Chains A and B, each alone.
Chain A
Amino acid sequence: MNPLYIYNSLSRQKEKFEPLHPPFVGMYVCGPTLYSEAHLGNLRTYVSFDIVHRYLKFLGYKVRYVRNITDVGHLENDGDTGDDKIEKQAKLQHKEPMEVVEQYKQGYHKILELFNTLPPSIEPLATGHIPEQIEMVEKIMENGYAYDVNGNVYFNVRKYNEDHPYGQLSGRKIDELYNETRDLDGQQEKRDALDFALWKNVPKEHIMKWKSPWGNSGCPGWHIECSAMSQKYLGDEFDIHGGGMDLKFPHHEAEIAQSIGAIKKSPAKYWMHGNMLTFEGVK
């Protein structure tokens, strides 16, 4: 009988599955940002990784499956500018941000149960791991790969790329990425278009704000939560990291850079990506 082979997005080929610490397997999958109901594309991703989870268990592995919930820090357009998706929704509905999260969390869990997916072993929330995220940002700064501008901390992609190749997962060279990225619009404080936020300064009126070494009112950037929480629950290096294809860049690329930037270790051995869906041929 053939052993299990997994297509690894990082190497772009099928690789024999050899967990780091058999019979244990650590798997991290990016969960939803709960500012709306989970849609069909999200559901497909969770069903796909439910199969991975179930099959690894069937093969006798002891799987720790971590799937997070983003409840702060995910900005509109997935970038570094614009409103926080949850904060904005809360304003529209005249609710607290956590009320919005709670409301959609119930629907999300109901759908996943209806579709017979097994629950993850741990379902961490970004807001529950602020100290861990701050600590990781500090480490990245200590290593010289991040800088602070008025309470906003950015990851310095160009500096990082001098020591470690950036773009390994998406298979893109940094120069190509420059051509694809819009110029800084002047409203941003980051030095370089490819840099991304690790910590954001937020207005004092925001409810979802925390004290950090960079100011009294801030919140984490979207990418750092997954790096901090996967490390906390699965260790510096773990077996599988999954998510939807749309997260490969920049989210997962940023995760790899953050982990290497903080502790010089690439987080996951196998990267898996579930594909998207269309309806009657329309994307």
Chain B
Amino acid sequence: MSKSKNNSILPMELINGSHHLLDKAYSAMVVRFFMLQSHYSSELDFSNEALKGSEKGFNRLVESFDRLAGIKPKDPNAEVLQAIEKIESNCAMHMNDDFNTPKTIAELFELATLINKLYDGSLTTDQAGIDKIQQIIQNYFIDILGMKIEKAANSGLVDGLMKFVLELRKEARDKKDYATSDKIRDTMKDLNITIKDGKDGAEVVYNG
């Protein structure tokens, strides 16, 4: 393995993006996450596409885990609690099966989907449910997979601010104050944030 081409990539070259085969830089946590999305006993192919995919996935998880703090406890819901517990027992089952990190990560994506539904209010749970979710994140994502929660591009704070910016823009447009609404859009564009107008109102896309 010491003479093959792949090994001429140094970890630092991934992090600072300096290797000629790389399109961009990746954080150490994204690279670690990418590695864990394959089983240790399988060959792992590094590619720009796969790394970008992992970065997206990592951000999706971190964003949803961030949202947990913003979820208000409501009445207990047996089905939701069951779903949370199922995810936890599946994580344990996969780790017990020869440290199957890719399948464990797939369960954490299930958890993220659930959190997002709790966040937008289409599902509800009580404090015990929220605590259980927090515990799964701590145990599996942080302690076992060894991931650090870095602030993703659109963290909870950014989400809140963007919602506010979109409201201001909508108010300006409603008043036909296009100078202001365009200024908001252009400023966001300079920050690599695209505001897209759709049927259900404006949507935010983070580029890069």
Report chain A residues within 8 Å CB of B148. Answer: 116
For chain B, the count of residues having a C-beta within 8 Å of the partner chain is 44
Minimal Cβ-Cβ distance residue in A for B48: A280
Q: Is B162 an interface residue (CB 8 A)?
A: no
Q: Is B207 an interface residue (CB 8 A)?
A: no
Whether B146 contacts A54 by the Cβ 8 Å rule is: yes
Report chain B residues within 8 Å CB of A115. Answer: 11, 28, 31-32
Whether B43 contacts A276 by the Cβ 8 Å rule is: yes
Residue of A116, A276, A279 with highest tally of chain B CB at under 10 A? A279
Q: Is A51 an interface residue (CB 8 A)?
A: yes
Report chain B residues within 8 Å CB of A6. Answer: 98-99
Whether B4 contacts A283 by the Cβ 8 Å rule is: yes
Whether B99 contacts A52 by the Cβ 8 Å rule is: yes
Whether B1 contacts A246 by the Cβ 8 Å rule is: yes
Inter-chain CA distance A37–B95, complex, in Å, is 31
Given A41-B7, A51-B99, is A111 in contact with B147 using a C-beta cutoff of 8 Å? no
Q: Is A212 an interface residue (CB 8 A)?
A: no
Report chain B residues within 8 Å CB of A279. Answer: 5-6, 9, 21, 45-47
Whether A51 contacts B5 by the Cβ 8 Å rule is: no
Given A2-B93, A55-B144, A114-B28, is A7 in contact with B1 using a C-beta cutoff of 8 Å? no
Beyond contacts A7-B98, A51-B36, A273-B41: 9 other A-B pairs, Cβ-Cβ < 8 A, are A4-B95, A4-B96, A7-B41, A39-B7, A41-B6, A44-B35, A48-B40, A276-B44, A277-B45
| Chain A interfacial positions (CB closer than 8 Å to B) | 1-7, 14, 37-41, 43-44, 47-48, 50-52, 54-55, 58, 111, 114-118, 244, 246, 272-283
Given A54-B146, A116-B147, is A40 in contact with B14 using a C-beta cutoff of 8 Å? yes
Inter-chain CA distance A279–B99, complex, in Å, is 24
Report chain A residues within 8 Å CB of B44. Answer: 44, 275-278
Whether A58 contacts B143 by the Cβ 8 Å rule is: yes
Distance between B144 CB and nearest chain A CB, rounded to angstroms: 5
Whether B7 contacts A275 by the Cβ 8 Å rule is: no
Distance between B4 CB and nearest chain A CB, rounded to angstroms: 5
Inter-chain CA distance A11–B205, complex, in Å, is 51
Inter-chain CA distance A14–B98, complex, in Å, is 7
B16-53, CB under 8 A of A: which get 1 and which 0?
00000100000011011001100011111111100000
Secondary structure of the A contact surface, majority rule: mixed
Report chain A residues within 8 Å CB of B42. Answer: 275
Q: Is B191 an interface residue (CB 8 A)?
A: no
Inter-chain CA distance A58–B143, complex, in Å, is 8
Q: Is B134 an interface residue (CB 8 A)?
A: no
Question: Could you pull out 21 A-B pairs where Cβ atoms are within 8 angstroms?
Answer: A1-B96, A4-B96, A5-B96, A5-B98, A37-B10, A37-B12, A39-B9, A44-B35, A47-B32, A47-B36, A51-B40, A52-B99, A54-B143, A55-B95, A115-B28, A116-B148, A244-B1, A274-B40, A275-B43, A278-B44, A280-B45
Distance between B107 CB and nearest chain A CB, rounded to angstroms: 15
For the complex of A and B, the 3 pairs showing the least CB-CB separation, nearest first, are A48-B40, A39-B7, A279-B6
Inter-chain CA distance A44–B5, complex, in Å, is 16
Whether A278 contacts B6 by the Cβ 8 Å rule is: yes
Minimal Cβ-Cβ distance residue in B for A15: B98
Report chain B residues within 8 Å CB of A272. Answer: 40
Inter-chain CA distance A81–B102, complex, in Å, is 41
B41-94: which residues lie under 8 A (CB-CB) from chain A?
A: 41-48, 89, 92-93
Distance between A242 CB and nearest chain B CB, rounded to angstroms: 9
Q: Is B122 an interface residue (CB 8 A)?
A: no
Other-chain residue from B1, B31, B145 in contact with A276 (beta carbon distance below 8 A):
B1
Whether A111 contacts B5 by the Cβ 8 Å rule is: no
Distance between A241 CB and nearest chain B CB, rounded to angstroms: 15
Q: Is B181 an interface residue (CB 8 A)?
A: no
Inter-chain CA distance A277–B4, complex, in Å, is 10
Distance between A227 CB and nearest chain B CB, rounded to angstroms: 22
Given A111-B11, A246-B1, is A51 in contact with B6 using a C-beta cutoff of 8 Å? no
Minimal Cβ-Cβ distance residue in B for A4: B96
Inter-chain CA distance A54–B1, complex, in Å, is 26
B108-130, CB under 8 A of A: which get 1 and which 0?
00000000000000000000000
Inter-chain CA distance A282–B5, complex, in Å, is 7
Report chain A residues within 8 Å CB of B9. Answer: 39-40, 279
